A and B are shown apart, each in its own frame.
Chain A
Amino acid sequence: MECVFGLVGNDFAIVAADTSAVHSILVHKSNEDKIMILDSHKLIAASGESGDRVQFTEYVQKNVALYQFRNGIPLTTAAAANFTRGELATALRKASIFVAVAIYNKALPCPGLYKGGITSLPVYCITHRTRDAALLISNPYFVNILLAGYDKETGPSLFYIDYIATLHKVDKGAFGYGSYFSLAMMDRHYKSGMTVEEAIDLVDKCIMEIRSRLVVAPPNFVIKIVDKDGAREYAWRESVKDAAVPSA
């Protein structure tokens, strides 16, 4: 039920994300910031499996910083988006080897490679008729990303990056169940070259739509903006605050 959406204005890009961290039926926290500041003029709004989300976005952030130190100039938004997509694409098909060796009728997978856990069933390869078997499994990052940035030469831009390494440069984009509502809202009200006030108004319309129409709607949202002055937090939209614990 994670909602992430964003749009491009006249000289800025804006992204909004819900701030709920959910595990099955439990809400861990309702003020989780899912929009990372990638560098001075880039934002990465990510949704999906929370471990992957933090791990992958931090990995991209550090590699973007490394590029800047190595080369003396920052990456363009498009370059950062292509790098991000490349990493997702690699993780998708560059498989790691899962080896199950049957010893005394127990299968022992290579520790750390198999996502599912240790199995104690005997293993058998049907085609080669051996009790040893090796499987190639891929390990994709389950993270959907909206990358917003501002470049001096080309202005604001927004990139839609899917967990299976789709890359699109877009004017408006959204992920999650909330996208059904926010995309429809943006399709109706978006026009190119909006001002910050108009864009925030549209973002608020989308949030209201999600809150009222999505069955398990996240209560709180964070909005971040990137323009020529840099990437920064714009506002929070909270309808539920963490209850304060009375002092003993």
Chain B
Amino acid sequence: SVRKIVSLDDHIALACAGLKADARVLINRARIECQSHRLTVEDPVTVEYITRYIAGLQQKYTQSGGVRPFGLSTLIIGFDPYTGVPSLYQTDPSGTFSAWKANATGRNSNSMREFLEKNYKETSGHDTIKLAIRALLEVVESGGKNIEVATMTKEHGLRQLEESEIDAIVAEIEAEKAAAEAAKKALAAPKET
């Protein structure tokens, strides 16, 4: 299956929504820039730098002759190489970029963003993964086959979750939802009688 989450460097990953062919070009340029930056200044890129580079590239193609804009938005995550602080950035075809605590992009991103606005809490590890999958399940058919999840840690870099792992978390979420439904029913029932 086509991978939508790719790593640009040891500490930077990118997920995109849109034209996959355009994504390949952008990702390739970003990967080269990551290594070029390391070669010239002997430092890994910061998340902001590479986001600015990608956004700058996307913008260039909105103001040049004979080209069309890249048809994709990206979500870029990573750790600052020195402070170790994680960041999330989003770019779009116009070339604007901004930092986020949580965001979604692509089809039905509005409802996912709404869900995140309501339910976002600063969590870590397993809880963060569950929140992300819960947001995705609002708009996507549940199941490991339709969901791609990757986590990035400072120590181990990018790790794609296995289908079985995703299925297990989805099952956990469904169980929680069912329990919440049952609790709601239990509260409502006495009032009716």
* Contact yes or no, A65 B28, CB < 8 A: no
* A129 adjacent to chain B (CB < 8 Å): no
Chain B residues within an 8 Å CB radius of A62: 35-36, 38-39
Please state if A69 and B39 are interface contacts (CB–CB under 8 Å): no
A63 to B34, CA, bound (A): 11
Query: Is there contact, CB below 8 Å, between A69 and B31?
Result: yes
Question: Residue B9 at the A interface, CB < 8 A?
Answer: yes
Find out whether the CB atom of A70 lies under 8 angstroms from the CB atom of B38.
no
A65 to B38, CA, bound (A): 11
The distance in angstroms between the C-alpha atoms of A63 and B32, with both chains bound, is 9
What number of A-B contacts does a CB cutoff of 8 Å give? 20
A58 at the interface (CB under 8 A from B): yes
Interfacial chain A residues near B36, Cβ < 8 Å: 62
Does B7 count as interface, using CB distance less than 8 angstroms? Answer: yes
Q: Mark B35-47, 1 if CB is under 8 A from A, else 0.
A: 1101100000000
- The reply to whether A70 and B35 contact each other, CB–CB distance below 8 Å, is no
Chain B residues, CB < 8 A from A65: 35, 38
Count residues of B near A (Cβ-Cβ below 8 Å). Answer: 11
Interface size class of A (residues with CB under 8 A): under 10
Interface string of B145-176 (1 = CB under 8 A from A): 00000000000000000000000000000000
Q: Which residue of chain B has its CB nearest to the CB of A69?
A: B31
Q: Which of B9, B32, B34, B39 contacts A59 (CB 8 A)?
A: B39
Q: Which residue, B28, B35, B36, has most C-beta atoms of chain A within 10 A?
A: B35
Q: Tell me, yes or no, whether B116 is within 8 Å of chain A by CB.
A: no
Q: Which residues of B contact A66 (CB under 8 A)?
A: 31-32, 35
B8 close to chain A: CB less than 8 A: yes
Chain A residues, CB < 8 A from B32: 66
- Point out the residues of chain B lying under 8 angstroms from A58, CB to CB: 39
Q: A residues within 8 A CB of B35? A: 62-63, 65-66, 69
For B8, give its contact among A59, A63, A69 (CB under 8 Å). A69
B7 touches A69 (CB 8 A): yes
Q: How far is the CB of B147 from chain A (nearest CB, A)?
A: 20
User: B31 contacts which chain A residues (CB < 8 A)?
Assistant: 66, 69-70
Which chain B positions have C-beta within 8 A of A59? 39
Q: How far, in angstroms, from A58 to B9 measured CA to CA in the complex?
A: 16
Q: Which residues of B contact A (CB under 8 A)?
A: 7-9, 28, 31-32, 34-36, 38-39
Considering the complex of A and B, which 4 residue pairs feature the smallest CB-CB distances, nearest first? Answer: A62-B35, A62-B39, A66-B35, A69-B31
